[in-house]
Amino acid sequence: MIKPKALHKNSTIGIISPSYWLDDRVLSSTSKYFSDLGYRIEFGKSNNLKWGPFAGSPQDRANDIHRMFENSRIDAIMCARGGYGANRVLPLLDYDLIKENPKIFIGYSDITAYLTSITQKTKLVTFHGPMLTTYKNSWVEYNYSIMQRVLAGETFIKLFSPNGLEPRVLKHGEATGPLWGGNMCLLMNRLGTNDSLNTDGIILFLEDIDEYLYSFERILVHMKEAGMLDRIKGLIFGELKDIKDQEIAFERNTDEIILDICGDLDIPILSNFPCGHGKFQSTLPISINTEINTKNKEAPLTIIDNAVKK
């Protein structure tokens, strides 16, 4: 794998909006957190474009990604927000350009599509983690602290969960493998395309937001029947935010649905892990060797290898 250079306090962070645009007020207030910490901030052109809900046309957004990777002043690229629209941009990306200019690329939600595609096609380690919208309501030290440690190149990072969001062990076990995953809808959406995720031998993490219980089950069934879960070594579900029921009760919660669909898999399974759309978001390096161990109740997930070059 190609590991980007580590992030330091005097590094320059490039901010882009590769899916939806972010309100100017929120863009300003959230980026200020990072400038106050000593990072230099450079805004991409996509932050000032609007094409309906999108931050410019697909080509506009692809061009901004290219500019950020080409720009020698930029040390890391942070997405302002997710939304929708990555699937229109992926076919326009110059993966050779990205590979020749490796640097940190971080985001989640719709950004899942970029992370998966970039890492699979270029071997560049990308990062499923906080964006500017993560700090829309307030600064979250837990999120920044983990991001800083991962992007500084630490090894054997044990991901302890914050108070009030304890992971739940659905199936006990221990496994080691490269970490891949992200938003469930985005991963399912790429099935059958050139950007479909290869799940052989990986630890897979999944998260989603604002789905009905029946829809959550439908996505999980689709993934299983498509073979996505056949050869994974471990399965982690993030905080499944705002998963709701209909008038006629589904009568099973998300954990029960997971066990109903995945309970026959002989692998460790966790739920309610701090990643995704909730307040607490771990930074998870895509493709990096990771251990899941449900015997360790405090830190069931450990990032073994460094994800960046110091």
CATH number of the CATH domain containing 59: 3.40.50.10740
CB proximity list for 132: less than 8 A, separation 6 or greater: 15, 22, 26, 27, 30, 31, 78, 79, 80, 81
What is the per-residue pLDDT across 142-172, written as a single tens digit (0 to 9) for each? 999 999 999 999 999 999 999 989 899 999 9
In sequence order, the β-bridge partners of residue 236 are: 205, 270
What is the arithmetic mean of pLDDT over 120-147? 97
CA 306 to chain centre: 17
Residue 286 belongs to what domain range? 157-303
Q: Is the pLDDT of residue 210 over 90?
A: yes
What is the arithmetic mean of pLDDT over 179-196? 95
What is the arithmetic mean of pLDDT over 213-223? 97
What is the arithmetic mean of pLDDT over 57-66? 98
- Provide the pLDDT for residue 221: 98
Residue whose pair of structure tokens reads 């959406």 in the numeric block? 189
92 inside domain: yes
Q: Are residues 186 and 290 in the same domain?
A: yes
Q: Tell me, what CATH number does 235's domain have?
A: 3.50.30.60
- Of the candidates 102, 103, 100, 61, which has an alpha carbon nearest to the alpha carbon of residue 82? 61
The count of structural domains within the chain is 2
- Provide the pLDDT for residue 298: 86
30 inside domain: yes
Confidence of residue 279 (pLDDT cuts 50, 70, 90): very high
Q: Are residues 116 and 249 in the same domain?
A: no
Query: How far from 12 is each of 15, 92, 244, CA to CA, in Å?
Result: 10, 25, 40
Q: Are residues 109 and 164 in the same domain?
A: no
Assigned token pair, 1 = 């794998």
0.75 exceeded by the pTM?
yes
Selected residue with higher pLDDT from 276 and 125:
125
Residues 102 and 112 sit within 8 Å (Cβ to Cβ):
no
- Provide the pLDDT for residue 9: 87
117 inside domain: yes
Average pLDDT score over the chain: 97
What is the arithmetic mean of pLDDT over 44-60? 98
Task: Name the percent of the chain lying above pLDDT 70.
Answer: 100
- Provide the pLDDT for residue 151: 98
Tell me which of 104, 136, 168 is where a domain ends.
Answer: 136
Task: Name the percent of the chain lying above pLDDT 90.
Answer: 96
Confidence of residue 18 (pLDDT cuts 50, 70, 90): very high
Confidence of residue 310 (pLDDT cuts 50, 70, 90): confident
Assigned token pair, 263 = 């309970």
What is the arithmetic mean of pLDDT over 11-38? 98
